[in-house]
């Protein structure tokens, strides 16, 4: 697990708690968040646009290959909703967190924008934990749910962070499917998270 996001979050919490960022800066910080979010989406687009393998994967996608990422997104959202209902949490936050598909950076940023720092923290921790659990327990996921179940559990991380672990536990045959599923989810998560948050009041 990459410790950097947690360390940066901890540094931010420390700075906020110690009052190193004066209250008067709040409007500027909000404007900065908006600007950084816009820059983030353009940069994601630039990275995607330059990646020829990404377009080859998209061209090779058939309707049937969309089933797996769709099931992963729906299953993750349903799981989030069930967990949220059991915990007595706002269902919009639970659904959006479940739909985050392990894409913790973007999920937390979108939830901060939609619902504030508390929701962002839940989105961040839950999706970071999902990515870490998948990497740590991949052989168990493959044994319990089969290769496709493991790819679905990995969510958006199936195209990058979790891919080597999926291949080593489930075999090379599933590599392309895993990458394609991750590609589709990476494109869908930025829209699914705010949409689901607003869908469940």
Partner 1 sequence: MPLWSFALLLAAGIAIGRRGRLPDRLLALSGRALTVSVYGLIFLIGAGMGAKAGLLGEIGPLALRSVLLALFATLGAALACAGVARLEARRGS
Residues 97-136 that bind partner 1 (CB under 8 A): 97-98, 100-101, 105, 108-109, 112-113, 116-118, 120-122, 124-127, 129-130, 133-134
> CB-wise, 21 or 53, nearer to partner 1?
21
Q: Where are the alpha helices (DSSP H) in 61-174?
A: 67-87, 91-99, 104-115, 117-136, 138-154, 163-170
Residues 48-87 that bind partner 1 (CB under 8 A): 48-50, 55, 67-68, 71-80, 82-84, 86-87
Describe the crossing of helices 91-99 and 175-199 by its angle, rounded to 10 degrees: 160
Residue 126 sits at the vertex; the CA angle it makes with 77 and 169, to the nearest 5 degrees, is 85
Tell me the closest approach of the beta carbon of residue 80 to partner 1, in angstroms.
Answer: 5
> CB-wise, 129 or 168, nearer to partner 1?
129
Tell me the closest approach of the beta carbon of residue 131 to partner 1, in angstroms.
Answer: 9
Quote the distance between the C-alpha of residue 33 and its chain's center.
19
Site size for partner 1 (CB under 8 A): 94
Question: Rounded to whole angstroms, what are the CA distances from 161 to 13, 73, 130?
Answer: 26, 18, 12
The structure tokens listed for 144 are: 């319990």
> CB-wise, 19 or 201, nearer to partner 1?
19
């Amino acid at each position: 697990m990459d410790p950097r996001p947690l360390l940066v979050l901890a540094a931010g919490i420390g700075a906020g708690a110690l009052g190193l960022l004066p209250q008067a800066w709040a409007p500027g910080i909000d404007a900065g968040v908006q600007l950084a979010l816009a820059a983030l989406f353009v940069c994601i687009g630039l990275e995607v646009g330059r990646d020829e393998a990404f377009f080859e994967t998209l061209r090779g996608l058939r309707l049937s290959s969309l089933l797996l990422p769709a099931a992963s997104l729906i299953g993750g959202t349903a799981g989030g909703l069930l967990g949220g209902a059991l915990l007595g949490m706002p269902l919009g936050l639970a659904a959006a967190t479940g739909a985050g598909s392990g894409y913790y950076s973007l999920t937390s940023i979108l939830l901060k924008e939609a619902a504030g720092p508390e929701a962002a923290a839940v989105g961040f921790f839950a999706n970071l934990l999902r990515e870490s659990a998948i990497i740590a327990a991949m052989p168990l996921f493959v044994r319990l749910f089969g290769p496709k179940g493991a790819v679905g559990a990995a969510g958006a991380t199936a195209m990058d962070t979790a891919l080597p672990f999926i291949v080593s536990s489930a075999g090379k045959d599933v590599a392309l499917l895993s990458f394609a599923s991750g590609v589709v989810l990476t494109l869908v998560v930025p829209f699914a998270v705010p949409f689901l948050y607003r869908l469940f009041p």
